[in-house]
Amino acid sequence: MEKSWNLSESLRNEYLTICLEASQFADKLLNFRSTQIYNIVESGDERTANMSFNYINKNHPSSLPLIEKYQAMDCVGKPKQFPAGGYLISDNLLRYIEAFARIKSFIGDLSGMNIVEIGAGFGGLGIIISKEFDIKSYKIIDLWEATMLQRKFISIFADVKKFEFFDTIKEMKNVDLVIAMRSWGELSIQFKERYFDKVISNSTNGFFEFGYGSDWEGSTKYLDDNLKGKKVKKGLFTYIFRNGY
C-alpha cells in the first residue's frame, strides 16, 4: 500500500520499523505490541475493551467461547491487557472477535469466499475467519513492512498458505467480502476512490470499522453515495453492506 495513510511521517516510519523488526527478530516479535508507537496506532484501552466485550455478550453470546479459543494470540507481542467480563485480554483481540461476530451475523457463512482486507494490523481477524470458516482465499493489502509482520504472525496461528499479501492497490475481481478495520477512515479521499474502484466496487459484501477520532461522517457518506443496490447496516463505528434488500 502506498503512502495513503493520514499519519505523520515520523509516526508512520516508527510504526513500520516496529513491524519489520518484529517480522525478522524473535525478541522483537515477543514485545512489539507493548511499544508506545504500536499502541498509539493499533490499540485501545480498558473502556474500548469492555465496550467490545459487552457488545459480544449482549448481542452475540455464541461468540464468547472464541475469547478462550484465540487468547493465545495475546501471548505474542506482549499487548496491554484489560479486565473484561472476567478475562484479562487485549482490546485488539476483543475487537477482532466483535468484528467477526458482526460479520457472521449480518453476512452469514463465509465458507468458500474470496476475502480482501485493507490494512490488517497484525492479522488477527484473518486468523479467526480462516480458522472458523473454510474460506477460499484471504488477501491482505497493506504497507510492505506491515505485510511482513502479518505473514509472520499469521503463520504462528493459522495456515498462511491461505493468505496472499499485497503492498500496492491492485484490481481484484470476484471479491465476496471486503474488510477494512479502521483503515478506511484513515485514508485520503484519493485513496478511498482507488480502493473503491479496484476492490470495493467488485465486492458482494463489506465490513468497515472506524476508530475513535476518524472521519466517520465523511467516510460513511462516501460509501452511501457510491454503493448501489446494497443492504446496509450501520452500528456504533461500523458499516456493513451486502447485496440486495
Output the pLDDT for position 188. Answer: 83
Burial of 20 (0-12, 13-18, 19+ CB in 10 A): middle
Domains and CATH numbers, the chain: 9-243 (3.40.50.150)
pLDDT surpassing 80 at residue 5: no
Q: Is the pLDDT higher at 9 or at 71?
A: 71
Q: How do beta strands 203-209 and 230-235 pair?
A: unpaired
The pLDDT of 122-135, averaged and rounded, is 98
DSSP letters spanning 120-140: -TTSHHHHHHHHHS--SEEEE
- Confidence at 59, pLDDT banded by 50, 70, 90: very high
Output the pLDDT for position 214. Answer: 61
pLDDT surpassing 60 at residue 208: yes
pTM: 0.93
Among 98, 53, 95, 44, CA closest to 213: 44
